[in-house]
Amino acid sequence: MKIRWTKGMRGAWSALLLLAGITGVSKGYAEMDIQDFTLQNGMKVLVVHDGRAPVVTHSVWYNVGSMDEKPGKTGLAHMTEHLMFKGTKTYPAGVMDKMVQRKGGVLNAFTSYDFTAYYEKVPVTELEPMMDIESDRMSNLQLSDAVFQPERNVVAEERKLRTDSDPTDRFFEQVMRRHFPHHTYGHPVIGWGADIQGYTFEDAMDWYKTHYAPNNATLILVGNVTADQVKPLAEKYYGKLPAEDVPERVIPVEPLRTAPLEYIKIDPQVQVVGWTVMYRTPSQFQGVAGAPVVAGEATGLWVLSEILGGGSTSRLYQELVVKQQLADGASAQYDVVRAGESTFDISVQPKETVTADTVTDAVQTLIDDLLANGVTEEELQRAKVSIKADEIYARDDPFTSLYRLGMWVTVAGAVADFNTWQKELDALTVADVNALARKYFKPEGRTLSVLAGNTQQLGKLKVTKDQ
């Protein structure tokens, strides 16, 4: 749900808030003022006014990502992202890039498990041409097998450079595959190498024609514009596109399991041991194993991640890095906004002379203490202030605002509920946080993963046998 800013700025801002006694910032302290409307073809439009500079970030978010892919066809969402830059009859390949760059703007795209998004940051005066180009390629891509084959090779090479040649990335692909064996979160966004080589131009075109439609997309603009200014342009360019028969999105469910998982491997290329434990947790939109979502739990887990591993004052850092001097770093991360269930991750970077089993025992001791004694009121209030500081500061970055809002709406979040977390945060109690820790930090929901360079670094831990 959040994109962290640097710990120095974050810590200084939090300290100022604490010194000022601001543990309960006034209502709306970090609310985003969102204007929204829907075109007749079903396309949603969101506008966030930011008048500090004469620029606007124009983006289109499609409600489709790698989560929606079928076995054997992984990577099609990312492949289509590449193909979207191959041009239309009106705007051939390369024209869009040159238009944006000549105006001093930037453009890019990204694919995730839950969405695919395209954006251009340009002067406000160039907004209309961006709408023209983006709406054109929503339905008029000029593709052929002669275009597809070289680009597939580009994607295959991208995978080799970014994943296949990196032992850590290779390892964590396999970790996710084991943590989510029945869920599409278990396959990589870029796709498995064999799938990239196996799918065809027809597969890519089918993906494009099935999912790229105005009624499966959201137009989001952040910058020096208002909804009144945007609406006639949106109707002119996007409103003319017909709605399509888009299949209803099916969110996969990972069944419950009865025992913890371990994935422990040796790779001689690794110099520094990687140690991570993941717990199965709900997101804002799906409970564990498809259980109903309980209001406030995602916000409570967000707070818990801040208490356990949100910086140098967190429990993990203080215990493992400062007091016991077992690690060079320790942190916790929790993703609030996901279409499927989420994970609560604890990561530790052991010191060179510390074995992985020592870290495992130390972290489990810390978790046991948390479950037995809970968090304190002081920790809770400090975490709340830190989160509020993050969110206030994030408003200074239009792209952060854009990204957070885009994630929310593409996983089916209602615009009216976007700021609900603030009320949930203010209402959260020590008892709430402690109950969440006991509910979700269970052995059967845990996946331990360790990647080391040799067996000596593992201590008593045993290498996982390949199945």
Whether the CB-CB separation of 316 and 346 falls below 8 Å is answered with: yes
Does a structural domain hold residue 23? no
Structural domain for 291, as ranges: 253-458
Q: pTM for this one?
A: 0.92
Give yes or no: residues 268 and 398 share one domain.
yes
Does a structural domain hold residue 125? yes
Which CATH number is 398's domain given? 3.30.830.10
For residue range 276-294, list pLDDT tens digits in order. 999 999 999 999 999 999 9
Q: Which residues are catalytic?
A: 81
Does a structural domain hold residue 248? no
For residue 109, the model assigns a pLDDT of 98
How confident is the model over 418-439, as a mean pLDDT? 96
For residue 103, the model assigns a pLDDT of 87
What are φ and ψ of residue 198, in 5° steps?
Answer: -95, -30
pLDDT at 272 over 80: yes
Does a structural domain hold residue 69? yes
Chosen domain end from 237, 271, 286 = 237
Give yes or no: residues 39 and 111 share one domain.
yes
- What is the three-class DSSP state of 181? coil
Q: Which residue has the higher pLDDT, 9 or 249?
A: 249
User: How far, in Å, are 34, 167, 207, 372 from residue 65 at the CA level?
Assistant: 24, 25, 11, 40
The mean of the pLDDT values for the chain is: 92
For residue range 50-78, list pLDDT tens digits in order. 999 999 999 999 999 999 999 999 999 99
How confident is the model over 213-227, as a mean pLDDT? 98
Chosen domain end from 188, 213, 237 = 237
pLDDT at 467 over 80: no
For 320-387, give the DSSP string: IIIIS--EEEEEEEE----SS-EEEEEEEEE-TTS-HHHHHHHHHHHHHHHHHH---HHHHHHHHHHH
How confident is the model over 336-355, as a mean pLDDT? 97
Amino acid residing at 257: R
Give yes or no: residues 322 and 411 share one domain.
yes
For residue 342, the model assigns a pLDDT of 98
Does a structural domain hold residue 341? yes
Chosen domain end from 202, 237, 272 = 237
pLDDT at 231 over 50: yes
Nearest to 296 by CA among 96, 130, 436, 455: 436
Give yes or no: residues 229 and 266 share one domain.
no
Does a structural domain hold residue 19? no
For residue 315, the model assigns a pLDDT of 98
For residue 83, the model assigns a pLDDT of 97
For residue 22, the model assigns a pLDDT of 37
pLDDT at 254 over 50: yes
Give yes or no: residues 75 and 214 share one domain.
yes
Give yes or no: residues 122 and 230 share one domain.
yes
Give yes or no: residues 166 and 212 share one domain.
yes
Does a structural domain hold residue 230? yes
Give yes or no: residues 172 and 114 share one domain.
yes
How far, in Å, CA of 53 to CA of 36, rounded? 21
Does a structural domain hold residue 202? yes
pLDDT at 108 over 60: yes
Give yes or no: residues 222 and 296 share one domain.
no
Give yes or no: residues 165 and 208 share one domain.
yes
Say which range, 26-30, 76-80, 85-89, has the weakest mean pLDDT. Answer: 26-30
pLDDT at 26 over 70: no
For residue 7, the model assigns a pLDDT of 38
Nearest to 54 by CA among 123, 157, 5, 127: 123
Give yes or no: residues 274 and 232 share one domain.
no
Q: Which residue has the higher pLDDT, 41 or 10?
A: 41
Give yes or no: residues 317 and 441 share one domain.
yes
For residue range 396-417, list pLDDT tens digits in order. 888 999 999 999 999 988 999 9
Residue with tokens 């800013």: 5
Whether the CB-CB separation of 57 and 402 falls below 8 Å is answered with: yes
pLDDT at 163 over 70: yes
For residue 16, the model assigns a pLDDT of 35
How confident is the model over 314-337, as a mean pLDDT? 98
Confidence grade of residue 336 (pLDDT, cut at 50, 70, 90) = very high
Region of 223 (left: φ > 0; alpha: ψ -120 to 50; beta: rest) is left
Total number of domains constituting the chain = 2
